[in-house]
Amino acid sequence: TRYWAVVPAAGGGTRMNLGRPKQYVELRARTLLEWSVAPFLDLGWIDGVVLVLARNDGEYARLPLSRHPRVHTAIGGAARAESVLAGLAVVAEHSRGFRDVRVLVHDAARPCVARSDIERLRDEADERHGGLLALPLTDTLKRSQHNRSVETLDRREFWRAQTPQLFGLEALRAALRESIDAGIEVTDEASAMERAGVQPRLVRGRESNIKVTFPEDLRLADFWLARQEQ
């Protein structure tokens, strides 16, 4: 079995309102992208990392990361699924000849993922179903209509999906292509796999693995990164 990581970083990150794509916002002297990629580069069993960049990316070449021997790049597309597919094509080029290639897809905006959780995902996700880090809900879940609460759902049935998500290379490529062809917006890899009839394993992650979306999330990420350093 060969393992690769793909990190889509071709989004605009417009909800951050910081005037630059959020993956290049700095925290503790490194960009979010560098923090998000670091745990994968630290793990020797991962052959390489493919970063998917926007065509007009002007920042990546300035980072020391761009000269790392295990880091490769691809050019992203208009939708996240297209960006991931572009990254998977680069994985396929580099892993030709290997039968069982598995790929960890991780958001460039999740800088606090723990190495031990990536390893647990590897150990718990089997070849056929793959898996993803996720957390059970703690809040009560409401269905809304016009800002009114019309129903309370059984929260034991719901988890919040995180990344990384781990799947077989060719199964994931096929599933993403099918979702794109069907015109479905794919917000994570597991949703494309579910459409293909696969039930990915939910592997319990941590609260610290936040997705930095709004400016205030940076302070939270800073808190979790400081804790990791201890």
Helix (H, G, I), strand (E, B) or coil at 220: helix
Token pair, residue 110, equals: 């999740």
Contacts of residue 191, Cβ cutoff 8 Å, sequence gap at least 6: 179, 184
Q: Least separation, in Å, of the C-beta of 176 and ligand C5P?
A: 12
Of 9 and 112, CB closest to ligand C5P: 9
Of 5 and 52, CB closest to ligand C5P: 52
Q: Least separation, in Å, of the C-beta of 156 and ligand C5P?
A: 26
Of 123 and 181, CB closest to ligand C5P: 181
How many CB atoms within 10 Å of residue 158?
12
Of 8 and 168, CB closest to ligand C5P: 8
Q: Least separation, in Å, of the C-beta of 221 and ligand C5P?
A: 14
Helix (H, G, I), strand (E, B) or coil at 131: strand
* Interface positions with ligand C5P (CB under 6 A): 8-11, 23, 52, 76-80, 83, 107-109
Q: Least separation, in Å, of the C-beta of 109 and ligand C5P?
A: 5
Helix (H, G, I), strand (E, B) or coil at 40: helix
Q: Least separation, in Å, of the C-beta of 55 and ligand C5P?
A: 11
Q: Least separation, in Å, of the C-beta of 98 and ligand C5P?
A: 25
C-alpha to C-alpha distance for 155 and 147, rounded to whole angstroms: 20
Count, in order, helices (H) and strands (E) of the chain: 6, 11
> Environment class of residue 179 by beta-carbon count within 10 Å: exposed (0-12), middle (13-18) or buried (19+)?
buried
Of 79 and 220, CB closest to ligand C5P: 79
| Pairing state between β 71-75 and 46-53 | parallel
Of 79 and 124, CB closest to ligand C5P: 79
Helix (H, G, I), strand (E, B) or coil at 99: coil
